[in-house]
Amino acid sequence: MIETLHSLYKKKHNIVLKTQKQIEGIRQASKIAAKILNLLCKEVKPGITTKELDRLSKELHKMFSAIPASLGYGDPPFPGSICTSINDVICHGIPDDRPLNEGDIVNIDVASIVDGYYGDLSRTVVVGSSTADALRVVGASYESLKAAIQICRPGVKISQIGAAIQLVANATGCSVVHQFVGHGIGCMFHEEPPILHYANKPKVDIVMQPGMTFTIEPMLNLGSPEAVIDKRDHWTARTIDGMLSAQFEHTLLITPTGHEILTLIDAKDAYPGVPELFINQKEL
């Protein structure tokens, strides 16, 4: 019996090329995650706490008949329904009672499960006005994601994602975090392949194929690319030098002719301009 491309690819790389039914489920989960993130970002303002945003996230997930994928995930179990990473926190920030201040930057990461399928995205928001350095790292992270998405299509090597991100980081004087990666997603929260965000020459370079679904989520720092994990909660990852970090993330599908950004509410808004994307922020 002749094996299908799906089964051969899974055997070789342990990557599941999604069926049309699975794609529809992942698309729905991704769009709901995007709606939740948009609503959360609209509430970002000085004085609000990330714990308040987390409570709203739980309400919104319930309203959309979704489950927050991060809540209870991992060991120790993550305590929030979203990750909220402020200023020098690179990722996996735990919602707390600290009020956001004018000039802070906060990344909100939403991952939602709908009918067993997963969608995942994040956005960094500037709280009110901010410094030129803060806007530089936020803008660089967004532009690096945009550059990475633009090269995604069948036949392109996964390593080219990191190369595209590295070019933007170098041009803007930022560094790329190596310790955290994007990932396959859809039928599980974290699947193969890992998506490295920096220029690299892997021993085995995976070629993009139609049906692949994965996240791209570059984390760019103003200073050193290194992260340190908080030993108290075993989740919060901060820059080693206390300098700012920013991140943007989308879930993508590789199609026969290119790619589809699944974590967009409206497909015609494929590359929203920076001022449109940054809700409650000054224009870069």
Taking residues 177-194, report their average pLDDT.
97
Residue 207 sits in a domain whose CATH number is 3.90.230.10
What is the layout of strands, in order, in the sheet containing 219-221?
175-176, 219-221, 245-247
Can you give the pLDDT at residue 130?
A: 86
Q: Look up residue 112 and give its amino acid.
A: S
User: In angstroms, what CA-CA distances link 51 with 93, 167, 233, 255?
Assistant: 11, 36, 16, 38
For residue 108, which phi and psi values (nearest 5 degrees)?
-110, 120
- Please give the tally of structural domains in the chain: 1
How far is residue 122's CA from residue 161's CA, in Å, rounded to a whole number?
18
The percent of residues in the chain predicted with pLDDT above 70, rounded, is 89
Q: Is residue 4 one of the residues assigned to a domain?
A: no
Taking residues 59-85, report their average pLDDT.
98
Q: Is residue 6 one of the residues assigned to a domain?
A: no
Burial class (CB within 10 angstroms; exposed 0-12, middle 13-18, buried 19+) of 274: middle
Residue 241, number of CB atoms within 10 A of its CB: 12
132-164 pLDDT per residue, tens: 999 999 999 999 999 999 999 999 999 999 999
209-234 pLDDT per residue, tens: 999 999 999 999 999 999 999 999 99
Q: Is residue 282 one of the residues assigned to a domain?
A: no
Can you give the pLDDT at residue 280?
A: 35
Q: Is residue 284 one of the residues assigned to a domain?
A: no
Taking residues 56-74, report their average pLDDT.
98
Which structural domain range is residue 155 located in? Answer: 13-277
Query: Quick check: 40 and 27 in contact, CB under 8 A?
Result: no
